[in-house]
Structure 1
Amino acid sequence: MNTNHNDPSRNAIDEREWQAQERALRDARDGVPSTDPLALRYRKVTDALRAPLPDLLPADFASQVAQRAEANARAPEIVQSARSGVLEGKLLRAAIGIFGLGSAVVVGVYGPEWIAPMAAFLHLDSAVAVNWALALGACVGATWLTDQLRRHREQAVHAA
């Protein structure tokens, strides 16, 4: 941004503002009320700057923090389990179970309408489609079972 610092009208405005700021500062120091409207605006700023900042922390801040630390150290088991993700894991398993149940209901209700066209499109007879569905179910079940066994073994190792 280009500014012309040699502009006499700008220098006059700056000088008037400067003098108003100085009057406001002097009036605040002397405890005299400001009479000039421009100085009165700056007096508010001067008074705000002269006032001490309020304490942001309460007087017993350290004891409050110590009490919270002790309460967290003696937290009930449910809080500790929630922090370790047990609650989230249970909720996730419940959501997956509900999703699976909903999927089974949808397949049960609408399955006959789309299984036959899908088998025709893939040139499969119904026996082959059933065999593939059983194979897919067996793979998913075996994967789940081995994962459960692995988790059980890891928990036994960590408990010992």
Structure 2
Amino acid sequence: MNIGNRNGHDKALLDEREWQAQENALRDERLGIGASGDDPLVAGYRTVARALREAPEVALPADFARDVARAAVAQGSSAHIDARLEQILLRLLVVALVLSGTAALAFYGNQALLAIDARLTTWGLALATCMALTWAFDWLRRIRHDGDPLHPA
């Protein structure tokens, strides 16, 4: 059997058969019609329809809500400790970054300032170019689509 060579028509027929089997199973379950002589495909979908229709019995312990609340409080307090530790570590990281930057600036002196100045000029020019292109393309879009470049829609 060559399943890979099905054309769209055969697939549509199979999908329609599946759909009809699902609908028949739902109808039969809703009406309480017996399963005598059922198509195996319909019988399979009847099992699914029955499982979806009947909620499973759930027997929660009497103190379930109290246990969940206790677990939530315990998790909240541990999350608070984690948040405080994270804040402390973040502050230490910022202090280390500032100290290392200050030490590098003191060690390299004027060379560092000249390099920073050159980088800022280069990046500033790149930023200005990006902003100008963004504004220009937005202006052209407004002219093309809205007809009024000065009053955006």
The alignment's TM-score, normalised by the length of structure 2, stands at: 0.40
**Based on CA coordinates, which of the two structures has the bigger radius of gyration?**
1
- Structure scoring higher RCO (CA < 8 A, sep ≥ 6) equals 2
